[in-house]
Amino acid sequence: MIEISESGMIFGAYEDDRVFRIEISKLHDKIGNRIKVVEFILMRKQNELDFIEAKSSSPKPIQDSEEKVEKFNKYIEEITDKFIHSFNLYYSAILGKNNHYNEISSKFLDLDNSILNFKFILVIKNHKEEWLVPILNALKRNLAYHNTIWKSDVIVVNEEIAKKYNLIKVNS
């Protein structure tokens, strides 16, 4: 079993062969520093891949200044890039373009990709529920094309909701 400490939260415990730690992988290390990735990819269910990004905070989408709007938009763009870059990097390995590091469990390689559900999950520590909605809406807008093509879902939760869904440990 594996636990992952990130942004002041402890994710897991998960079976080792159901987690791909893309952020600390040789694959990510060798591809280059301009590729932004999520913390890890999790196979929670047989036909589901969760791309998990953790943050300790986020800017508020306050419209009272150009600077705050720009900061929020930059944050959304960064998270969007992490989800898309991770998806692309993962599939470059699954399709054999970048799989010479043998870091991905055979459970991932054996998946029927034609029936997989993809979830892009952002977990933000100590966030009020009402603050999650604008972030979710902005990410859904940015990822609309991906969600249409790949039938993926975007989920934004705080640590309390993440605990309810057993993403993070209750005592983290």
In order of 5, 42, 96, the CA distances from 51 in angstroms are 16, 7, 20
pLDDT over 90 at 37, yes or no: yes
Closest CA to 124 of 3, 5, 36, 9: 9
The whole-number pLDDT of residue 139 equals: 96
The whole-angstrom separation of Cα 88 and Cα 37 is 10
Inform me whether the pLDDT recorded for 59 exceeds 90. no
How far apart CA 97 and CA 16 sit, in angstroms, is 24
Q: Is the pTM of this model over 0.85?
A: yes
Residue 128: predicted pLDDT: 84
What's residue 63's pLDDT?
A: 66
- Rounded mean pLDDT of 100-124? 89
- Containing 29, the helix (H) or strand (E) segment is helix 26-31
Share of the chain above pLDDT 90, in %: 57
Average pLDDT over residues 120-134: 91
